Amino acid sequence: MFGDQPMTDTDSDLTRQHTGEPLGERIIVSGRVLDDRGRAVSNSLIEIWQANAAGRYSHHVDQHPAPIDPNFTGCGRALTDASGNYKFVTIRPGAYPWLNHFNGWRPAHIHFSLFGRALATRLITQMYFPGDPLFAYDPVFQSIPDESARQRLIANFDLETTKPELALGYRFDIVLRGRESTPFETA
Amino acid sequence: MNLLPTPSQTAGPYFHLGLTAKHSISNIAGPKAKGERLRLLFRVLDGNNQPVPDAMIEIWQANAEGKYKHPDDPQEKSEDLEFFGFGRMETDQNGICIFETIKPGCVPATDGLAVQAPHLNLSIFGRGILKRLATRVYFAGDLANDVDPVLALVPNERRYALFAQPGTQGDSDWVFDVHLCGKDETVFFDV
């Protein structure tokens, strides 16, 4: 989540936004943004925000006793290229407790915000990691009634984008509503 | 090929990361943008009429001539380089955020025939809101409201919930209350 300042290289690399390196497991999250007819959504803004490796947000509201990482803010942005591809380098976020219910823990996730090409394609969602044991207990994940739709929020481990001695790769493709929804269509 | 869309999830309470006063966008139109200046105050309220202190509001609007700053807008109207067209802010502890902008012009309807009354497109995100809430802000008393094809979709007795009302700080001051639920619930559109 940013303002109208121009983008810089470190916007999409959340491990290089401070003088030191953040703690945790480096990951590369990449994928394609498509519309519902399989066409690339090019040159489109993606914003992400997330907790640090200890599961703590660098945010005044999050006061739970996990360490803040001075080298990790946890937000980034990127533009899709002509083929709809995007890439972020970041740290795998930790699970964190929330006070929604007794012993409630959110599965590790990264918030994604996408604009697409029209007002109707605006989407905010969350990306999850495969095999998380908290899925069954998380009311946010379970707020999506359809099992196959929930599966579309889970990234896949990807050896091809994994960088040796550096970072694990995860693929997360995103499908936005069709481009025929123009900025002028609302009701 | 028909792909199924990625489902929406709540923005949660921590979207402010980086959305600081410096980084939020409260100026939708620069000081030299053409058009009638507006100060538009939003108040987001829950079902008990209590302020919602951690909502996020986004505005998308056309310029004073009724043209969007977007490559897909086909209209042959002039662009205004001082006009940005997009704004985003978080609500404060009183559920309030204030945008500086200009009154948009009339935009043609999707059928290309009718004309839409001046309005802003409004999105509301926040903790507990699973999917973006979409609505429109019209201006109370604008004569064009009577012929707007989208307002016509809304039952007459509910249209008031889509009108910004004049504020107390002079002619440029407007106020729009967003009621997330309750008897005065804002009319939200299925987009």
3-state secondary structure at position A35: strand
A58 contact residues in B (CB cutoff 8 A):
17
The better pLDDT of the pair A58, A167 is held by A167
Q: In which element (H, E) is residue A148 found? A: helix A147-151
Nearest chain A CA: its distance from B189 CA (Å): 6
Answer whether A117 sits within 8 Å of B72, measured CB to CB. yes
Mean pLDDT over B1-24 rounds to 79
The answer to whether residue A1 neighbours chain B at the CB level (below 8 Å) is yes
Query: How many Å separate Cα A28 from the centre of its chain?
Result: 11
Residue A86 annotated among the catalytic residues of the structure? no
Across B77-92, average pLDDT: 90
User: Which one of the listed residues A32, A56, A86, A96 is annotated catalytic?
Assistant: A96
Cα–Cα distance measured from residue B155 to residue B187, given in angstroms and rounded to the nearest whole number? 10
Query: How confident is residue A187, by pLDDT bands cut at 50, 70 and 90?
Result: very low
Cα separation, A107 vs A136, in Å, equals 10
Each residue of A23-70: pLDDT tens digit?
999 999 999 999 999 999 999 999 999 999 999 998 888 888 899 999
Sheet of strand A123-128, all strands in order from the earlier edge strand to the far edge:
A75-79, A45-50, A109-114, A123-128
Specify whether A16 is catalytic. Answer: no
Q: Give residue B20's pLDDT.
A: 54
Between chain A and chain B, the number of residue pairs with CB atoms below 8 A apart is 136
pLDDT of A90 above 50: yes
Selected catalytic residue, list A32, A57, A92, A117:
A57
Angstrom distance (rounded) from CA A10 to CA B42: 34
Taking residues A126-136, what's their average pLDDT? 97
B2, B6, B16, best to mutate vs chain A, most A CBs in 10 Å: B6
Chain A residue with CA closest to B23: the answer is: A3
Whether residue A186 and residue B5 make contact (CB cut-off 8 A), yes or no, is: no
A59 is catalytic: no
B114 touches A: beta carbon within 8 Å: no
pLDDT at B111 over 90: no
Check CB contact of A45 with chain B, cutoff 8 Å.
no
Catalytic annotation, pick one of A16, A111, A171, A179: A111
Range from A116-120, A178-182, B26-30, B108-112 carrying the lowest mean pLDDT:
A178-182
Q: Does B150 touch chain A (CB under 8 A)?
A: yes
| Chain B residues lying within 8 Å of A117, measured CB to CB | 72
**Residue A92 in contact with residue A133, Cβ under 8 Å?**
no
Structure tokens at B27: 């100026």
Report whether pLDDT(A120) > 90.
Answer: no
**Which of B9, B57, B73, B153 to mutate: most A Cβ within 10 Å?**
B9
Confidence of residue A186 (pLDDT cuts 50, 70, 90): very low
Summarize pLDDT for A67-83 with one digit per residue, the tens.
999 999 999 999 999 99
C-beta atoms of B10 and A36 within 8 A: no
What is the distance in angstroms between the Cα of B41 and the nearest Cα belonging to chain A?
Answer: 20
Residue A183 has pLDDT above 50, yes or no: no
pLDDT, tens only, B112-170:
778 999 999 999 999 889 999 999 999 999 999 999 999 999 999 999 999 999 999 88
Q: Read off the pTM.
A: 0.91
Residues 51-110 of A with CB under 8 A from B: 57-59, 61-62, 73-75
- Inter-chain CB proximity A186 and B136 less than 8 Å: yes
Confidence band (pLDDT; 50, 70, 90) for A5?
low
Contact across the interface for A61 and B13, Cβ inside 8 Å:
yes
**Closest residue to A124, CB basis, from B8, B13, B68:** B8
Q: Is A143 helix (H, G, I), strand (E, B) or coil?
A: helix
Distance in angstroms (rounded) separating the CA atoms of residues B6 and B3: 9
Do residues A106 and A134 touch, judged by C-beta distance below 8 A? Answer: yes
Distance CA A89, CA A155 (A): 14
The predicted pLDDT at position A83 comes to: 97
Which of these, B8, B1, B4, B2, lies nearest to B123 by C-alpha position?
Answer: B8
Q: How far is B141 from chain A (nearest CA, A)?
A: 21
What is the mean predicted confidence (pLDDT) over A103-121?
92
Predicted ipTM?
0.89
Average pLDDT value for chain B: 91
Return d(Cα B142, Cα B38) in angstroms, integer. Answer: 14
Contacts of B168 (CB under 8 A, 6+ apart): none
